[in-house]
Amino acid sequence: MSVTASATECLAPANPGGGWDFTCRQVGQILQEIGVVPNPVLVTNMAGAGGGVAYSHVVSERASDADLIIAASSATTTRLAQNAFSGLTADQVRWLGTIGGDPGVIVVAKDSPYKTLPELVEAVKANPAKVAFAGGSAVGGFDHLKVLMLMSRTGFKDARAIKYIGVDGGADAITQTVGGFTAAMTGDISEISGFIRSGDVRALAVLADSRVPAFPDIPTAKEQGIDMVAVNWRGFYVPKDISDADYARWVDGLTKVAQSEQWQKVMAANGLAPYTLIGEEFETWIDANIAEIQSISREIGIIK
């Protein structure tokens, strides 16, 4: 790179201990270790409004700060798509990239009659009122959207007919499914990996580009004929008004992190899968992702 000699800052839009804080601290450390930045990266926690406080701060007060990167994830784009950041839009920042992700997964109870993802999909199409899904996010959140996108990709268009029960976190959603209250559950593979290993549930599909190394027996949705990838990505945006040269340096720096041995170890230790989209490719993907979320959110009445 190297970015300017002044201190690089990574803004985590939540309190210490969560996913955004993890992203800032791990990537910040690697940026210095591999020589992309000369000094330790300062991590600042700015919680509030599900990332909205930090987003507003960057847009209004730090729009040209070339030494600032901000942690983001699927939750960031979902909230922007649903106008949860009160009037702020995705084009008010520049999207830098994602270098890893937590793949979505669809699981059923171990004694469920559904053995494959297409069997479950066909059951929903036949009688949506009878096949409920549980998830660890609220109605309109990422877990709910995974189910709606999945069914949409199979040609099922009545998003409002799909039964979804949002509970507080993946473990509670698993309990709903193991207890027979819902036919299936959707979540991120890291939060329910223990239940899969113990045999309490059977995973029908992982919503990733390829099988996850930690769970080589779980087929992808794509393998089963449904072109669906839903990864809770871990990445960054940068302020809108930095120069193209500064943006290009950050693209180069994040690419080096993605390719580093250190990042491979971090992913393996934390159950993340490789998911690398950086620079222009990521910006294009963000636009398409937000458009799809807005379309489905309108169908279910989350936004007008």
Please give the pLDDT value at position 122: 98
12 sits in which H/E element: strand 9-12
For the chain, what percent of residues have pLDDT higher than 70? 98
Q: Which residues contact 154 (CB under 8 A, 6 or more apart)?
A: 121, 125, 226
Numbered ranges of CATH 3.40.190.150 in the chain: 9-101+232-299
CA 49 to chain centre: 18
Among residues 35, 52, 31, which one has the least CA distance to residue 43?
Answer: 31
| Distance (Å, whole) CA 21 – CA 10 | 9
CATH 3.40.190.10 in the chain, residue ranges: 102-224
User: How high is the pLDDT of residue 239?
Assistant: 98
pLDDT average, residue stretch 46-55: 95
Say yes or no to pLDDT of 213 above 90: no
pLDDT averaged over the chain?
Answer: 94
Q: Out of 3.40.190.10, 3.40.640.10, 1.10.10.10, 3.50.50.60, which CATH number does the structure's domain 102-224 have?
A: 3.40.190.10
Lowest mean per-residue pLDDT among 14-18, 125-129, 283-287? 14-18
Confidence at residue 245, expressed as pLDDT on a 0 to 100 scale: 98
Is 3 a residue whose pLDDT tops 80? no
Per-residue pLDDT tens digits for 136-151:
888 999 999 999 999 9
Higher pLDDT among residues 18 and 225, named by residue: 225
Which band of pLDDT confidence, cut at 50, 70 and 90, is reported for residue 214?
A: confident
pLDDT number for residue 5: 52
Q: What is the mean pLDDT of residues 224-239?
A: 96
Decide if 50 contacts 79 (C-beta within 8 A).
yes
Q: How far is CA 6 from CA 38, 41, 66, 89, 244, in A?
A: 9, 10, 10, 29, 19
Q: What is the predicted pLDDT for the residue at 158? A: 94
pTM metric for this prediction = 0.88
Which residues are within 8 A (CB) of 126 and not within 5 positions of it... i.e. 6 or more apart? none
pLDDT band at 191 (very low <50, low <70, confident <90, very high): confident
Asked if residue 1 has pLDDT above 80, the reply is: no
Q: Of 240 and 215, which is predicted with more confidence?
A: 240
Provide the pLDDT for residue 283: 98
Pick among 3.40.640.10, 3.40.50.300, 3.40.190.150, 3.40.50.720: CATH of 9-101+232-299: 3.40.190.150
pLDDT of 169 strictly over 90? no
